[in-house]
A and B are shown apart, each in its own frame.
Chain A
């Protein structure tokens, strides 16, 4: 079946540190990959997406490349800010079923 595995958090970083959040998936065919962010007290927001192999999505300084050969997509940011503190979800989307399959989320805490 389809599944998504994310690194466990929380991830605690100092401001301006480099961020990597790992995500791997199992799926048949060619799913799209999404990254969502959930700030405290708010709903999930789409952060970026990659719809095919080797696609690189980017937004707000975050980047993620869809690595089909390793079935992974790692979220990265070169210099995190306190305002980036949130929970980040990796999700897999299948056109055939229109469903989003989420990873367990990784909480990021950035300290000043």
Chain B
């Protein structure tokens, strides 16, 4: 149990287009999901915290108008990279915290989505 999926697993797009990445908790509900970005050989950087039914909280330096986050249900959060540019190419990872558990218990991570912008 406690599986998180991401779709797509990889995507290639042209510069200037928008890309949507989905994060789903398959067998549990998650009021809170997190979006991370990982550059090659570097650590995961938290981009934003997504809360079901409310606006996402973005980390300092993350452009909220560029990285749109929607958490419309207890099992789905989406990240849309708008007007993508080559510098947005990266590995995007989401995690989900089961509803009702303290954050220290655990977060369940998706397998990640590799975005390449040409």
Q: Could you tell me which A residues sit within 8 Å of B by CB distance?
A: 4, 32, 36, 38, 41-46, 49, 51, 89, 93, 95, 98-105
Contact = CB atoms under 8 A, between A and B. Distances in A.
A99 B49 CA distance: 9
B46 A100 contact: yes
Nearest to B34: A100
Interface in B64-117: 93, 95, 103-104, 106-112
Interface of B: 4, 34, 36, 41-46, 49, 93, 95, 103-104, 106-112
B110 A104 contact: no
Nearest to A93: B104
Contact of B103 (A43, A98, A101, A102): A98
Task: Report the 9 A-B pairs with minimum CB-CB distance, sorted nearest first.
Answer: A43-B109, A44-B109, A102-B43, A102-B44, A104-B43, A43-B111, A98-B103, A46-B106, A43-B110
